[in-house]
Chain A
């Protein structure tokens, strides 16, 4: 379980997160919404200790991220896969080598053949040809790079997956493929996921709960149905943007 407790973070004078609390249940998929620049990615990075909070804590499987030793933090990171917004694949490594990075901390505990088989299996799960393993990220399209990033994130049998805008910048077809992939991973591998997204269709398709981060605080948390039917004016800006914004900004 991922339990975010009273998290606060500021950069300079700008408050990014203010006493944010959120809990993601085992096996669930939470979509995190919010306007651009409200700190959704910042919140995600706190979960695996890529950023240190000014106050509050994140507990992953009973381990406090702020109090964890270096070894404990690495153990948590091996259980949590992170899909970066821009894929963040290593240009100098092949696709296969990128995926192997996500497999274990030493990268050499597995036998070579076992590693290759796992790489091929991961590539098949994200609907890519296993031969892609020998290619470099620069040779792939944006959608394929995102899928390789997802493969790297779950290659080590991670129990949690954090997606930072997985469909942003993709055409509808590739966005749909990624959404189906996230759904498939939850169904077949049973991972717990948090998805930072602006893509409402994607969120409705893959999430069971939705949270809205607004003005540095969690404005709404609930099921997809509750989110759809919410009367909150801010929530309605996301569920029915044209109607809500027309009322807000009369032309």
Chain B
């Protein structure tokens, strides 16, 4: 009996000890959020100011745009094709016999243009581009290359951050346009092969949904996602500390934060689509 009471007392003390730490943990969390908000605002301002001198980063911008655009194309096309094919088949299984079959074309176009095209492409590029930027800049920070840049009188924001953020913002819309085209094409192929639908029915479905605003909105989303992925990669990369382990943590943080940020922007921009569309 006594040992049971002592155990209960110990548990009460443990709970009390944990609860006493809650305010400090909340306080630290609030401070971290404020610090990151201030850091992001500062980096945004520095990036905007540095972007006004294109002569100094033009070469790096072209190199980054090539790397992000051309080298990402195979994986973007592959994922877009798979997502288009899966969408048409899934909607076919759900709706065959319940609604006119041409609706499959509308569902594929609507899903791809407003959601799948920009979001799936962005999520792929969080890993492909965001993680690379985080690891690259993180390594440059821990090996003092960023300090070396400042030591020779160069601005690391101008030389490293601006070309990457601009390249991401410019390259994502054409990549998403290609992804949209490939996904709808793969959706059509998947539908005519596996479902009782003809090409003309599928095309009719696509055309009956299609409106320019959906396409443009998807491309605007792509630009926002491109800026977000690269900016997060740069922000977290430039804060890397502590050797190889620090760079590893940086890469993970970029992928997690980038994914959450893409989903956050998607939710916010979906509201705007509803308001203006």
* Residues on A facing B (Cβ under 8 Å): 45, 48, 50, 74-75, 77-78, 80-82, 84-86, 88-91, 101-102, 105-106, 152, 156
Report yes or no: A90 in contact with B56, Cβ–Cβ below 8 A: no
Q: Kindly state whether residue B150 has any CB partner on chain A within 8 Å.
A: yes
Report yes or no: B153 in contact with A78, Cβ–Cβ below 8 A: yes
Q: Which one, B147, B153, B154, contacts A84 given CB within 8 A?
A: B147
Q: How far is the CA of A86 from the CA of B139 in the complex (A)?
A: 13
Report yes or no: B145 in contact with A88, Cβ–Cβ below 8 A: yes
Q: Closest residue of chain A to B136, judged by CB?
A: A92
Report yes or no: A50 in contact with B151, Cβ–Cβ below 8 A: yes
Report yes or no: B56 in contact with A106, Cβ–Cβ below 8 A: yes
Give the most central of A50, A85, A89: most B CB within 10 Å.
A50
Known contacts A74-B153, A105-B153, A105-B154; decide if A84 and B56 are in contact (CB<8 Å).
no
Q: Which one, B56, B143, B151, contacts A77 given CB within 8 A?
A: B151
Report yes or no: B56 in contact with A50, Cβ–Cβ below 8 A: no
Nearest CB of chain A from residue B189's CB, rounded to whole Å:
40
Instruction: List the B side residues contacting A48 at CB < 8 Å.
Output: 150-151
Report yes or no: A102 in contact with B56, Cβ–Cβ below 8 A: no
Report yes or no: A82 in contact with B56, Cβ–Cβ below 8 A: no
Cross-chain pairs A/B with CB under 8 angstroms, 6 sampled: A48-B150, A77-B153, A86-B144, A90-B149, A91-B145, A101-B152
Instruction: List the A side residues contacting B152 at CB < 8 Å.
Output: 77-78, 101-102, 105, 152, 156
Interface residues of B in 99-151 (CB under 8 A from A): 140, 143-145, 147-151
Nearest CB of chain A from residue B163's CB, rounded to whole Å:
12
Interface residues of B in 73-101 (CB under 8 A from A): none
Give the most central of A50, A75, A88: most B CB within 10 Å.
A88
Instruction: List the B side residues contacting A74 at CB < 8 Å.
Output: 153
Known contacts A102-B152, A105-B153; decide if A90 and B147 are in contact (CB<8 Å).
no
Instruction: List the A side residues contacting B154 at CB < 8 Å.
Output: 101, 105
> What secondary structure prevails in chain B residues at the interface with A?
helix
Nearest CB of chain B from residue A212's CB, rounded to whole Å:
25
Report yes or no: A45 in contact with B143, Cβ–Cβ below 8 A: no
* Residues on B facing A (Cβ under 8 Å): 56, 140, 143-145, 147-154
Report yes or no: A84 in contact with B144, Cβ–Cβ below 8 A: yes
Instruction: List the A side residues contacting B143 at CB < 8 Å.
Output: 86, 88
> What secondary structure prevails in chain A residues at the interface with B?
loop
Q: How far is the CA of A77 from the CA of B149 in the complex (A)?
A: 10
Q: Which one, B140, B145, B148, contacts A82 given CB within 8 A?
A: B148
Instruction: List the A side residues contacting B147 at CB < 8 Å.
Output: 45, 50, 82, 84, 88
Q: Closest residue of chain B to A90, judged by CB?
A: B145
Q: How far is the CA of A81 from the CA of B151 in the complex (A)?
A: 7
Q: How far is the CA of A155 from the CA of B211 in the complex (A)?
A: 59
Q: How far is the CA of A90 from the CA of B153 in the complex (A)?
A: 15
Instruction: List the A side residues contacting B148 at CB < 8 Å.
Output: 82, 84, 88-90
By Cβ-Cβ distance, the 4 closest A-B pairs, closest first, are A88-B148, A82-B151, A88-B144, A74-B153
Q: How far is the CA of A84 from the CA of B143 in the complex (A)?
A: 9
Give the most central of B56, B144, B147, B152: most A CB within 10 Å.
B152
Q: Closest residue of chain A to B147, judged by CB?
A: A50
Instruction: List the A side residues contacting B140 at CB < 8 Å.
Output: 90
Instruction: List the B side residues contacting A45 at CB < 8 Å.
Output: 147
Q: How far is the CA of A187 from the CA of B150 in the complex (A)?
A: 28
Instruction: List the B side residues contacting A88 at CB < 8 Å.
Output: 143-145, 147-148
Instruction: List the A side residues contacting B150 at CB < 8 Å.
Output: 48, 50, 77
Q: How far is the CA of A50 from the CA of B140 in the complex (A)?
A: 15
Nearest CB of chain A from residue B237's CB, rounded to whole Å:
14
Instruction: List the B side residues contacting A102 at CB < 8 Å.
Output: 152
Report yes or no: B144 in contact with A85, Cβ–Cβ below 8 A: yes
Q: How far is the CA of A75 from the CA of B56 in the complex (A)?
A: 17
Instruction: List the B side residues contacting A106 at CB < 8 Å.
Output: 56
Nearest CB of chain B from residue A138's CB, rounded to whole Å:
12
Q: How far is the CA of A50 from the CA of B147 in the complex (A)?
A: 7
Instruction: List the B side residues contacting A86 at CB < 8 Å.
Output: 143-144
